[in-house]
Every structure is written in structure tokens, then in C-alpha cells.
Amino acid sequence: MNTTIKEQNGELVATLEGRLDTAAAPQTEKDLAPLMAAAGKNVVLDCTKLEYISSSGLRIFLALLKAVKPAGGHVFIEGMSDDIRSVFAMTGFTQLFEFR
Amino acid sequence: MADLLVLHNDVQEIPQLADFIDSFATQHSIPPALSMSLNLALEEAVVNVMNYAYPAGTVGEVHLSAEAADGTATFVLTDSGTPFDPTATPPPDLTLGADDRPIGGLGIFLVGQIMDTVAYQRQDDKNILTMTKNIKQI
């Protein structure tokens, strides 16, 4: 699992690449920690190269949303595959996030 | 003949489960989307055992067998830890907004969403969770 963060057009863009399983989740959570302090900026999660997610990954997405939203920011998900989107649908996460 | 995977209660061993499911899927011509779902459900069931069956600091084993017959895959997860029936866990409230959604509690729910049947038995001081899924091509 590889995670990189960059700032682009005033938004914080995190690119997630690989398998976000329970083994990878603690490191990914650390890698995404800077986004938690986005202070009103929008966060974009580029999931084009995300191959897999389990509930430990969903937990990180939700924690991020809970941190970014009260500060007035949005969390956008980009490029998510249908297979991973189905995991979001099963868990009611589709309504929580904005997709683009 | 069932395939058998033996793991310890260490989530760092979870990638071995992915390899195990990949090879099971290849053997039985299971398409990638279904294979991913099976991997997800089994990861959630296995992680639950890894995290809760054995007291912290002790080493325990988690056994998973996988078998396919007549278009049905059967997975049996066995551990010798604390008695726990995951099928008795109440489902999460999926209608809550982000503010009210608790972090967590989705793992066991996903097992039930993906598998066709999930049955728990306590036998010979073991937790035995049997899960089945239709893998027939439509």
C-alpha cells in the first residue's frame, strides 16, 4: 500500500495505491494524518489505483470525514472502481461521501 | 479435498489470506469481483478472531478451510479462543449521517452481506464459523 499527499489547486489530494487491508491500515492512517488538520481545505482521495479495501480502511475514510467536515471542508472520492464502490454501497458509505 | 490455511492472531499475516483466496479463485474459476468479495468477507471474519479470540499477548491459531462443490464454496473458520458468536452481533445503523456513525462495527456485518449463509457452532472448546457462497457462473 502506497499513499502520497500533494496540494493541488488549493485542495489536498491523497493518492491511494494498492491494497488497504487490515495489515496495511495502521501505516495508511499515519500517512493520511496530515489531512486531518486540513483546516477548512477540501480533501480529495484519489482511489484510481486502490485495489481493495476492508472495514479497517473504511474506518480511516470515516475518521477523515469526521475531522474534515466540521472544519468546513469536503472529502471528495475520485476514480473508485465499481468493486470498491460496491463495498461502500453495502456499508451505507455511498451517502456519506461525495464522488467525482 | 479442502484447502487449509493456518494463521496466527497477528493481522500482519492477512496478506497470506489474500494469496490463499487468489489461488482458490483461480482453481475454481471464480471471477475477480466475486473473489474480492470473498476475500473481504473472510478478512473480516479472520480479523475478528485475531483481535478478540485470544487474550492480548498470547499466541493463538486461526484455521480456515475452503472447499468448492456443486457450485457452492464452503469456508470453515476455526479457533480455540474465547466463545464468541459473531452471528449474534446486532447490525449497524446504515442510515446515520457521518456525525453519528460510529467508527467501526462494520466487519461482521460485511461477512453477512457477502456470504449466502453464516452459521456458528461451539464444539470441543472451539469456535466454528461456517460460511457458504454460491460461485456458479450465471
Query: Is A37 a residue whose pLDDT tops 90?
Result: no
CB A9 within 8 A of CB A41: no
Interface test with B, best of A1, A19, A20, A22 (most B CBs within 10 A): A22
Name the grid cell of A53.
479495501
Q: How far is CA A32 from the centre of its chain?
A: 8
Domain assignment of residue A82, given as a range: 2-99
- What is the radius of gyration, based on Cα positions, of chain A? 12
Going residue by residue through chain B, which has 138 residues, state the pLDDT in tens, using 9 for 90 and above.
799 999 999 999 999 999 999 999 999 999 999 999 999 999 999 999 999 999 999 999 999 999 999 999 999 999 999 999 999 999 999 999 999 999 888 999 999 999 999 999 999 999 999 999 999 975
Q: Does B97 touch chain A (CB under 8 A)?
A: yes
Rounded to two decimals, the ipTM of the complex is 0.94
Nearest CA in chain A to B97: A96
Angstrom distance (rounded) from CA B98 to CA A66: 7
* B115 C-beta neighbours (distance < 10 Å), count: 22
With vertex at residue B82, the alpha carbon angle to CA B80 and CA B83, rounded to the nearest 5 degrees, is: 95
Taking residues A23-31, what's their average pLDDT? 98
Domain count of the fold of chain A: 1
The structural domains of chain B, ordered by start, are 3-134 (3.30.565.10)
Question: For position B138, what pLDDT does the model report?
Answer: 59
Q: Provide the sign of the torsion angle of the four alpha carbons B19, B23, B28, B31, taken in this order.
A: positive
Query: Is A6 a residue whose pLDDT tops 70?
Result: yes
Contact: B114, A90; criterion CB under 8 Å? yes
Contact: A59, B104; criterion CB under 8 Å? yes
Taking residues A68-77, what's their average pLDDT? 94
Question: For position A15, what pLDDT does the model report?
Answer: 98
Name the grid cell of B26.
483461480
Q: Write the CATH number for A41.
A: 3.30.750.24
